[in-house]
Structures are given as C-alpha cells and as structure tokens.
Amino acid sequence: MTDNVYSTICPGCNFGCGLYIRENGALEVDFRKSSPANSGKLCRFGMNLPKLFAPTKSMVDGKETTIEEAAKEAAKRIAASKGSVVFLSLGNTTSEELLAFQKIAESALYTGAVAALPEDTYQTLNIGIPYSEIEAAKHIVLFIDPYEQYPLIVRRLLSARNKGAKISAVWWKDLPLADENIRPGDVSKLALTKDSLIIADYNPLSDTEQVKNVLALAKNAGTRITFLKPFANSTGGYLMAKGIKQKSISQLVEDINKGTIKILFCLESDPSVLIPSETLSKLTYLIIQTGQTLSTKANIVIAHEPLYKKKGTLINNEGRAQALGGTGTSGLDALGIIAGAKFDFDSLHESVKKAIGITVVDEFMMPKYERLEYGALQASAKPMDAKTALVSVYNPFMWSGLADDNDFVELNLNTVKALKLLKGGSIRIKSNGSTIEKKFKVAPVQDNILLTSNKFGIEKGIITPVEVSR
C-alpha cells in the first residue's frame, strides 16, 4: 500500500510552519525543508500533530451519526432559535471555510479581543511583518516568551543577534537570548528608537489595556510593532471578516450568562479554553464543527476532515498566503447544509484571493499590505495589585487542549526560601476557592510570580491572584 502524503501547515499558531503529514496506518510528521516560514523545522507541538489529529466522530446528543445528519440537526436547532445563536471562530481553518461561515452567521461573529480595541489598530494587530525584517532588525523588544509561545521565531531572533541586533525582553522571567531583561512593571525603563522592533502577542484572552499600552509605546517612539497570534489562520480570519460586526470573548461570556445567547456554534475552535465551564453549561446547545479531538462535550459534533486533508488557503502572520495540499471539502459542505445552499469552493477561493490582493496563491511571494497608521491611544493598564500571582504563558498546547508534560510551575529562589519549599517537593496554590498542589522548578522569575505553561483549572485569564504555601 502506498502512503498518502499531504503537504500542509501546522495549526499550532500563526507562524505558518510547513510540513508533511504521512498516512501509513498511523500518522507521521515529515519535514518540509522548502517551507519559507520554517525551512522544515518544527517545535514540539508541530511534532505532536498526530495526537491532535486523532479522529473525531459526528454526534448528536451523544449518539454517533453521519456528518450530513449532524449538520442537518444543527441547521434545525439553529433555525428554531433565531436571534439567540452565536457563531465563534478563532481562525483555525481555511479562509474559504471562514468566508462561508460568515455568510451563515446571523448576527455577530465572535473572533477574539479585537472588538474591544480601536478599529484603526486592527490592521497592525492582525498583519505582521515579514520574518526577514525581524532578522534584519537592529533592536528587538520581546513582550513574549518565544521559547514557550512561538518557538520557531527563536531561529529568526538568533539570526538577528548574530548580525549584531540587541534583544530586550519585557517579561516575567529572564530570557537567555536577551541582552537586557526588564520586568513588565518596569516597562518605563525600556528605551525605544525608530530602529527598534517590538514583538508582542495578541490572543482572545489578551488584556486589552495591556495591548493598547504596547501599541502606544510603539506609536510614541515611532517603533515598528508586530503581534504573533495563536491560531493558524488568525490573519486570514481578519482579512475575511473585514467590515463584519464582531464581538469580544468577554462580551460573549456576558451574553451567555444573561441568557440572550442559547446556542453557540464553534468552527474549529475549542470553547473550553476561552469560556468558563459554568457559562458553557447555561447554553441550550453547544455545536462544534471540527476535524480534531475535542476536550469539550458538545450536544452536536460535526466532524469534518482534519486540516491537513482540506483544500484551501491559510495566511500566516507575515500575511503570506499558503495552500493546503488536501482535496477535502466536507467542512464546507456541512456549512452549506446549515446555510441551506451549497458553497462553491472555486468562487470562495476567488474571493479569498481578492481579499488578500493576489491572483495566485504562492507561498514564496509576499503579498503587499498597507501598514496603516493608528491614532494615539490612552492606555490604563492596571498595576498588579495581587501580592502573588500565577501567570499563564499561553502556548499551542494550552490553546488546543493537547496534554503536555509540563505539569509544574516556575518560581524563583526567593519564593522557594520564603515558603521554605523542599527540594523535589511541591507548592500549594489557592485561588477561587480551589487548592491545587504542583511540582515546581526554580528559574529566574520575578519575585512572587509563578509561571505556568499548563492549564490547572484555577486560572482567571492570564494573571490569576493566588495564595501560596508549602
């Protein structure tokens, strides 16, 4: 039997790493050296893709069914609840599917934090800069932990440093590749010039005041800024939804809690990462259309093909259009059942190219995007009032709900001594009425901060005030 080999893009973040997925009974990952974003290299998440693509089944109220029947049942329930249905996509599927999805979204499309920010910042937030500009920068300022969050950027940073770039990090922990480490509370010590380039992160749980703060820093110093994002086609999601009314996740949570939203339809997005379980339990129906394993129980699961089998276009952080090597359109067909009219891939594809401003999808060609100016921003980032806090370092494993082996927190030696923690022992962390016990690792972290790259179930957003003891 010959293997099926698909040339595809990793859905772990929107860095846009290319790879091959080989089907030979089990799934295997092969390196694609020609990929312009990553030259074949992958991070741990990319190497773990076979686990993410474990097959899922279409279900209605716990019973297995076909994708068509699941989509028909979803269509029926959506039609019966007009006015109280919300459609959520974070951009983890093809631009063609996202365009179709928009057409069925009856009122609002929820895609993340963007709605809470001024509209003139959207282009800057969503379209990054070519990675070649990062490698050529003279001064790079990191508002991320590249090793944990967007590992493939580390190569670009090291290349810039080898060419003489200075790297500053504004982070909770000293980063080994930085020449200068500044704590987030001391950001006023950061010296920016027109030659600096800020790399930040922008995700659905981002603190909007913090994002405004970083945008304002860049604006005031005339510094270039780029935001990395966690979902493979976040940039495509923005380009396809330009001009469409959108709402933030916090608005969505409020609407479900108020009872004005009864059905949530998620396209290739795991709501449990974003929405508290007590809020999700208030929904009459949760419908998830996906091609990968789920960590959330949904009333209806519409199981389309995994991303690597799809036909369609992804747009990476640089704005580079990348074609998937599959032929599948079952996701698009299921959306057609819900819309009550079949979607034609070719005409959607033409619209996608038009939205990008290209005539052909070629990953080696960089489309031209305007770098639009944004106005002055008033940011009022709150100083951290908690004595001790757990800081979640969001990374591909956390967004996808895929288990990782990092079941520990990082803290510094002062915290270890103050709490009299024992070597090889654990730390008790109390928050929101729950207490958990975790292993710890000593690292050059800010005093009274615990860093985690895992989800423990006690978090309240990125920064969670906690009480700690031995």
Q: Which residues bind ligand SF4 (CB under 6 A)?
A: 10, 12-13, 15, 17, 38, 42-43, 45-46, 150-152, 396
Tell me the closest approach of the beta carbon of residue 15 to ligand SF4, in angstroms. 4
* Residue 233, both tokens: 């086609």
Pairing label, strands 263-267, 285-290: parallel
Tell me the closest approach of the beta carbon of residue 283 to ligand SF4, in angstroms. 30
Tell me the closest approach of the beta carbon of residue 256 to ligand SF4, in angstroms. 29
Cα–Cα separations (whole angstroms), residue 268 to 34, 344, 423: 27, 20, 42
Tell me the closest approach of the beta carbon of residue 206 to ligand SF4, in angstroms. 18
234 or 464: CB nearest ligand SF4 = 234
Looking at beta carbons, which residue is closest to ligand SF4? 12
Tell me the closest approach of the beta carbon of residue 49 to ligand SF4, in angstroms. 8
233 or 415: CB nearest ligand SF4 = 233
Q: Evaluate whether 315 touches 341 at the Cβ level (below 8 Å).
A: no
* Cα separation, 300 vs 74, whole angstroms: 7
236 or 396: CB nearest ligand SF4 = 396
290 or 415: CB nearest ligand SF4 = 290
152 or 261: CB nearest ligand SF4 = 152
Cα–Cα separations (whole angstroms), residue 106 to 252, 297, 331: 15, 24, 19
Tell me the closest approach of the beta carbon of residue 138 to ligand SF4, in angstroms. 24
135 or 255: CB nearest ligand SF4 = 135
Tell me the closest approach of the beta carbon of residue 16 to ligand SF4, in angstroms. 6
Tell me the closest approach of the beta carbon of residue 224 to ligand SF4, in angstroms. 21
17 or 199: CB nearest ligand SF4 = 17
Tell me the closest approach of the beta carbon of residue 130 to ligand SF4, in angstroms. 16
Tell me the closest approach of the beta carbon of residue 8 to ligand SF4, in angstroms. 11
234 or 431: CB nearest ligand SF4 = 234
Tell me the closest approach of the beta carbon of residue 287 to ligand SF4, in angstroms. 27
* Cα separation, 85 vs 105, whole angstroms: 8
Q: Evaluate whether 215 touches 225 at the Cβ level (below 8 Å).
A: yes
Three-class SS string for 206-245? Answer: CCHHHHHHHHHHHHHHCCEEEEECCCCCHHHHHHHCCCCC
291 or 396: CB nearest ligand SF4 = 396
48 or 415: CB nearest ligand SF4 = 48
Characterise 130 by phi-psi region: left (phi > 0), alpha (psi -120 to 50), beta (else). beta
156 or 247: CB nearest ligand SF4 = 156
